Amino acid sequence: MKSLPLAFFYLSILFRLVLSLSPTYLSCQLQKPTGESALAGCPEGTLYVSSTDPSANFTGSSGGHQFSVSSAILIPRGSLMCNSPGTGKAVILIGEGQYFEMVNVTRGAPLVLLGQLDSATASTRAGNAPQRNLVYIWNNLHAGNGLNDEETPTLTVGPSDGHPFGNVDFKAYNIDFENRAANYSIAPALVTSITLANTSFYGCAFASWQDTWYAGYGSNTYVVDSTIYGQTDCKFFPSIPWFQSVTLANRGCGGGITAWRGEPGTTNGVYIANSNITRSPDIDPTIVTTGRCFLGRPWNEYAVAVFLKNHMDDSIHPSGFTSWASGDAVPTTTFYAEFDSHGPGANMSSRVEQDHILSSEESQTHRLEEVFQERPRWIDSRYQY
Ligand SMILES: *[C@@H]1O[C@H](CO)[C@@H](O)[C@H](O)[C@H]1NC(C)=O
Ligand SMILES: *[C@@H]1O[C@H](CO)[C@@H](O)[C@H](O)[C@H]1NC(C)=O
Ligand SMILES: *[C@@H]1O[C@H](CO)[C@@H](O)[C@H](O)[C@H]1NC(C)=O
Ligand SMILES: *[C@@H]1O[C@H](CO)[C@@H](O)[C@H](O)[C@H]1NC(C)=O
Ligand SMILES: *[C@@H]1O[C@H](CO)[C@@H](O)[C@H](O)[C@H]1NC(C)=O
Ligand SMILES: *[C@@H]1O[C@H](CO)[C@@H](O)[C@H](O)[C@H]1NC(C)=O
């Protein structure tokens, strides 16, 4: 009976729960000792995708598009192929490796993507979680040559044709999503595109240059303990992306870190809280400018961007925000706000007058519960970081 080593294995997992990432999924995510099933500790029915392990439900080769992750997402289970909220929840474990594919999630029922983790490093506390990730999903398309922005993302979450809403509860843990079109700003090259869906990301990384993150119409997103690499206009439409305890790594400046097109009278906007906004540690000084980055520029006069308790290094421009076109003033109908910014980029004395410097009391109206008008059930509040 091999229950003794297995008992030790699970004991070590239990012990690690103190510093765990997702208490719900960590035991599934940890790589297993030789001879144990990769799916040990996973919820029943979990599918396993691997680029190397022939015992996986879906395997792919490292060359060419194999659509390994996409194939697993498309597997019919219950009523998951149609947009049927609350049924047919699917969990997919993705093994260590590189996956060269574009993932397009159109299923409506809950979906969880889990990146495998090394038990030796999963819970180390150095930096935020993406530094321990073993799973990379990437593509290399950029806008131009007949392609629109929307055709370039590595991860798309949205409704299938004719459905009013896409995924009601999409979650990804410990996965790096990258657009490797170039190692410099070549053109819009999206990593994520999320429209009409509720999505959340835990310990992930998102890497590109221009337009890394597209928050499309009607999406609610929560990103925690993650790193977003980009330059120029992460762009957003009426929707709510909330970035909590992330690193926003500026690979260069241009446009704004946020570029928002808003709607009057809503809480739609981009919210960045308890995060580190910094010059990217991976910038190559020979190919990027070393200018100062603006926290935001308004795509329309109702732009909303709220920065709560962030650390800002000296890559942030002293003015904070700028207009869409140079020479214009920032419209007074925008809502740009900061509360308790700190660090070298957080000297408020030269901020544009349209920046609302919030008091502690005022900041309370921009808490997560206020912004989403509830404590969203689609957020994994047990995730620890
Ligand atoms: C996935 O692989 C596991 C382990 O081999 C197996 O038990 C399970 O039936 C497979 N699932 C599907 C849907 O094929
Ligand atoms: C994703 O799939 C939907 C539904 O088939 C389609 O409308 C959309 O164009 C696809 N998006 C991408 C980026 O392939
Ligand atoms: C980007 O840089 C990496 C690391 O040097 C290299 O492996 C990759 O081929 C480069 N990609 C492009 C598109 O230049
Ligand atoms: C912010 O990120 C930079 C670059 O990774 C790092 O050097 C710095 O220590 C971080 N600062 C804080 C306050 O976390
Ligand atoms: C903030 O900026 C003002 C104006 O540029 C400058 O006079 C002041 O010394 C700065 N404060 C700090 C703490 O750097
Ligand atoms: C999506 O999230 C919002 C905000 O939490 C919530 O009000 C809405 O009911 C969710 N939609 C679905 C279809 O679950």
pLDDT over 70, % of the chain: 87
Please tell me the CATH superfamily of domain 247-375, with its number: Single-stranded right-handed beta-helix, Pectin lyase-like (2.160.20.10)
Q: Smallest Cα–Cα separation from 171: which of 92, 72, 70, 229?
A: 92
Note the pLDDT of residue 186.
87
Let me know if the fold of 45-231 is the same as that of 247-375: yes
pLDDT digits (tens, 9 = 90+) for 99-154: 999 999 988 889 999 999 998 888 776 667 777 899 999 999 999 989 999 999 99
How confident is the model over 202-230, as a mean pLDDT? 94
Q: Give domain limits for the chain.
A: 45-231, 247-375
- Ligand 6 centroid to Cα of residue 199, in Å, is 10
- Ligand 2 centroid to Cα of residue 104, in Å, is 6
- Ligand 5 centroid to Cα of residue 346, in Å, is 10
What CATH number labels 45-231? 2.160.20.10
pLDDT digits (tens, 9 = 90+) for 69-110: 887 887 665 444 444 444 578 899 999 999 999 999 988 889
Ligand 6: residue of 111, 167, 198, 375 to mutate (most ligand atoms within 8 A of CB) is 198
Note the pLDDT of residue 1.
37
State if residue 140 touches ligand 1 by the CB under 6 angstroms criterion.
Answer: no
Q: pLDDT at residue 201 above 80?
A: yes
Q: pLDDT at residue 292 above 80?
A: yes
Note the pLDDT of residue 61.
54
Note the pLDDT of residue 17.
44
Q: What is the pTM of this model?
A: 0.91
Q: Which residue has the higher pLDDT, 131 or 364?
A: 364
Ligand 5 binding residues, C-beta < 6 A:
347, 349-350
State if residue 39 touches ligand 1 by the CB under 6 angstroms criterion.
Answer: yes
**What's the CA gap between 88 and 342, in Å, rounded?**
45
